[in-house]
Amino acid sequence: MSRGRKRIGTGFSKKRQAGVVSMSLMSPPQGNAPLPLKVSVVGAGIGGLSVAIALRRNGHLVEVFEAAEIATEVGAGIGMQVNALRVLEHWGMRRGNLKGVQYDGIMTFDARTGEGLARRWLVSGMDQGQSLLCHRRDVHDELLRLAVGEGDGVPVKLRLGNKIVECDPERGTVTLKDGETIHADLVVGADGLRSVIRSHVVGATVTAPATGLSCFRSLIDASKLGEMEWLTEGLSGARSIIAKEGEYRLIFVYPCRNGQFINVVAIYKDPHQDDPDWLATGTREELLETFNDIHPKFLALLALADNPVLRWQLRVLPVLDTWVRGRTALLGDAAHATLPTLGQGAAMAIEEAGALGCLLPLGTRREDVPSRLEAYQTLRKSRGDYVNRESLAQGIEPSKRGLYFRSPEVQSYLFQHDAIKDAKAYYEKHFVL
Ligand SMILES: Cc1cc2nc3c(=O)[nH]c(=O)nc-3n(C[C@H](O)[C@H](O)[C@H](O)COP(=O)(O)OP(=O)(O)OC[C@H]3O[C@@H](n4cnc5c(N)ncnc54)[C@H](O)[C@@H]3O)c2cc1C
């Protein structure tokens, strides 16, 4: 058996585990067997696991470095729109494992009067559960299964409790807190809003300024619900409760995990944006006080929230000059963290991972990586930047509020995109001789 083939079958070679990229590894493989790339992914959130899956399936050797000791997601809901599910299905996702609730549209309610209006998605192919409302941990667990479980390629190595503190994007090195430096052919910075990799790629420190908005987040046990017709009547999907008077307030409510929980995101104007603790805890009493003038039927739901309630500042990155440098790329919130108005942050991370998978098949040589990453940027950046800017605009510009629910153009652009098809076509056009 040739060198390259053996490595795919048995996992990382000792040389590569030790972080040594020798000249022989950079030389063309002997025989027909292509060599896998050695890949370092920083962050094991939805974005990091997604790119790990895409590249592992191609036969590359992927290590994921995660600062947290446990690989999990925050206890909250997430809308998985059809454009993201399309990519996950391409990777062999088992839909049932997401335990999703059908997401056929949004019921919008006037916070004061309680009057509601059903808004189905306005583009075709979006009914009968094409999109799902999920618990983040169920999505994360399914991604973990696809990354480290059995399947095509070598299972991903997940290194928990390994915080990356430095990166040399041109050389493809990342350095851990304890000083260990790992060499790779490709580095992907999927390390979220407060990315360390971002400053090395952009060449300057770029932080996400406060928007003046924060949100309370809670998962309410559905068994505690009494009669709440506004939650069950009408279409299967989310409920959006909008305060039309006074300061900006919006409550987004939906069931997840087969209806076992009700996810609540309550967005409000928060004067305490200097607080360095962006992710903190609040109380049910603070939540009720902030929304005290809304219709009693909605307050009855908020009163069921358990203490403590999560409290997040909603921060938005400016559009970055670049997502790539040398053999390093940014992906997900590290590249375009934004408001949750369009519910597309994680979806973009998944699409971006899908695109990288198409642009970096087995056989990609170390010296090809920079041009493939330039292609990734050409293919993906305008879409990520659109979601970043449009989410902010639809959150803060009064004339654009709720446009997402009303605009077939916005929905078509978001939902009907096929990231895999698009990236495959690009790859074939530009890289297949
Ligand atoms: C209220 C709210 C609702 C949302 N709803 C939706 C929705 O319905 N649909 C949707 O698609 N998106 C939604 N989003 C957006 C979505 O949550 C994010 O875009 C997505 O989770 C980002 O994933 P990520 O992997 O890029 O980053 P993260 O989830 O932030 O993951 C980054 C990971 O990197 C790790 N890390 C950080 N620094 C380091 C380091 N130096 N070394 C090693 N590891 C590191 C972190 O511990 C973390 O595990 C919502 C966001 C919010 C705030």
The residue whose C-alpha atom lies closest to atom 39 belonging to ligand 1 is: 191
Q: Please tell me the predicted confidence (pLDDT) of residue 128.
A: 72
CA of 112 relative to ligand 1 center, distance in Å: 32
* Domains of the chain by start residue, with CATH: 3-75+136-208+318-431 (3.50.50.60), 102-132+211-315 (3.30.9.30)
How many angstroms is it from 346 CA to the middle of ligand 1?
7
Rounded to the nearest angstrom, the distance between the alpha carbon of 38 and the centre of ligand 1 is 24
Output the pLDDT for position 17.
33
Query: Which residues touch 417 (CB under 8 Å, ≥6 apart)?
Result: 83, 351, 383
Give nearest CA residue, ligand 1 atom 6: 343
- How far, in Å, CA of 366 to CA of 37, rounded? 7
Can you tell me which atom of ligand 1 is nearest the CA of 335?
26
CA of 31 to the centre of ligand 1 (A): 42
Question: Ligand 1: which of 70, 78, 88, 315 to mutate, judged by most atoms within 8 Å of the beta carbon?
Answer: 78
Q: Return the best residue to mutate from 40, 41, 46 for the ligand 1 pocket (most ligand atoms within 8 A of CB).
A: 46
Separation of alpha carbons 310 and 308, rounded Å:
7
- Report pLDDT for 27: 41
Ligand 1: distance of its center to the CA of 165 in Å?
A: 18
For the question of whether the overall pTM of this predicted structure is more than 0.75, the answer is: yes
CA-nearest residue, atom 24 of ligand 1 = 47
* pLDDT for the residue 28: 42
CA distances from 116 to 81, 106, 144 (A): 23, 10, 39
pLDDT of residue 218: 96
d(CA 395, CA 380): 23
Q: Which residues line ligand 1 (CB under 6 A)?
A: 42-48, 65-68, 78-79, 163-164, 190-193, 196, 215, 265, 312, 332-334, 340, 343-347, 349
User: In the beta sheet, which residues pair with residue 187?
Assistant: 40, 328
Tell me the CA–centroid distance for residue 74 and ligand 1, in Å: 9
Q: Are 37 and 185 in contact (CB under 8 A)?
A: yes
Q: How far is the CA of 81 from the centre of ligand 1 (A)?
A: 16
Query: Residue 63: phi, psi to the nearest 5?
Result: -115, 135
Taking CA atoms only, the protein residue closest to ligand 1 atom 3 is 340
Q: What are the per-10-residue average pLDDT scores of the chain (433 residues)? A: 28 32 37 89 98 98 96 88 97 98 95 95 83 97 97 97 98 96 98 97 94 94 92 93 85 97 95 72 93 96 95 94 98 97 97 98 97 98 98 89 92 96 98 89
